[in-house]
Amino acid sequence: MNDRTATLMRAKSKVDSKLTNYRISFVLDAQGQEKYYFTQATDSKATFFELRGGGHTQIDYADLVGGMAYELDADKKCGERIPIDDAEDFRGLTFHVAGHLLFMYEGSKDNMKRIGNEKMLGRDTTVYLHSFSNGEMRFWIDNEYGLALKYEQTGGQAAKVYVTEFTVGGVTVAGMVNIDEYDIE
């Protein structure tokens, strides 16, 4: 594992240790592409991940107590059951929906300049700027959990990613998906 990967994995581990019961949703709006919508929720018994966009809805669900994971096609109501030996491994597969933003931030933060503070979803964030030859990236980093609650890139492939919901504590995954509605292989 190279140094950058090790740094990113340490950052992910730090966030994972703080976020054990949460629900987070965000939108990816990239120039010239359809918007994509992501939701993830995790509690002590299950993990739920949903991706909507491109005319398709994908759901990954892990029953951490029963030791089964499911990859579901929500449109066709079918899916695959995957036994999981270690439920924690599945949490890594479904990674925080904001995780790629954490990775982008962690991978660029040595070249970032702090430019201010703002509230996002009622949460305190620190705003960082990373400039490059034909554009810039801005990150709104949650001060408590270290996740990017908003990201904007100009130049190159312009994109915006913004969190629309972030709930910590009191989240229950049960009922977010009914496995009995799916034809499971």
* Average pLDDT value for residue range 150-171: 90
Residue 185 lies in a domain: no
Choice between 87 and 130, residue whose per-residue pLDDT is larger: 130
> Tell me, what amino acid is at 184?
I
Domain that holds residue 127: 3-179
pTM of the model: 0.82
Residue 134 lies in a domain: yes
Q: Kindly report, residue by residue over 31-77, the tens digit of the pLDDT.
A: 889 999 999 898 989 889 899 998 999 998 988 888 888 999 999 99
Grouping H, G, I as helix, E, B as strand and the rest as coil, residue 136 is strand
Q: How many domains does the chain have?
A: 1
Q: Would you say residue 85 has pLDDT above 80?
A: no
Q: Kindly report, residue by residue over 98-152, the tens digit of the pLDDT.
A: 455 555 556 566 678 999 999 999 999 999 998 888 889 898 988 888 888 898 9
- What's the gap between Cα 35 and its chain centre? 15
Residue 91 confidence (pLDDT): 47
Residue 17 Ramachandran class (φ > 0 left, ψ -120 to 50 alpha, else beta): alpha
159 bridge partner residues: 30, 153
Q: What is the CATH number of the domain that holds 70?
A: 2.50.20
